[in-house]
Structure 1
């Protein structure tokens, strides 16, 4: 086995690049700079495409990232919230229709004991059969009541400031 010199046995990564010096000094220097700028442009374009893809397809980044409900869109509020509002301000409204009332108002439901006893109860109370309203009508009644309330600016401002100041704090008891 013939002995190799140190220069022959070194790997490519350890030897100085022949291409590096030739690229720096030779006629190919303009092509490398143009290839770098084109690579930068491709990277920026890929980044923009990735960001647009993420904006389109990612809807949530965590448990607190939920689509917010418009506070004055009463029709999108759930029935329990509307009922709590009615109870809080003692509004005299019939209950909104529910799935149970839809079932009882069907042809089969009218023959059940529950429907007949409900009809008797309503006749005694003098309410008639039209004692329920749709959720849309119910939401409109609640909204009209809400819009008719007088605003107390001092209470609103102090409540807002308190909420902002104590936004991320929880009530904690400390014992000493």
Structure 2
């Protein structure tokens, strides 16, 4: 005859069930319809936001690696001319916009231009340059080809070789 089931084992299973039901936010806690509620994910740290913020590489990256507002005006103007941007130029003197945007300054030739050709503040030009720079598409093949070409011909001078003249 098999031994009788002990009362201790039955009590253990009952107390285990009670413990599981009493614990908040366990993996067995489900919402209506058998779906899991989102409280479990918060404990596990399985949210994508938590994972991204805990990654050390992403936490230290600046949003814009080049601070265009600290660049000199000459660099911003050179970029604007090189890419033929349809934006107004910036004032040479940082305080010119204060003087020329008041009273008699509005009558000056610089401020009396059509709206698209008026001068703007340096920070406005820097913003336009930053937007243009970030919108540029980078072709990896072109970058690799240029890098290989520049490293291969780094020290050599460009020479045109002509056939020797006959006499």
TM bracket (short chain) = 0.3 to 0.5
Higher relative contact order (CA 8 A, sep 6+): 1
Structure that is richer in helix per residue = 1
Q: With the length of structure 1 as denominator, give the TM-score of the two structures.
A: 0.41
Q: With the length of structure 2 as denominator, give the TM-score of the two structures.
A: 0.43
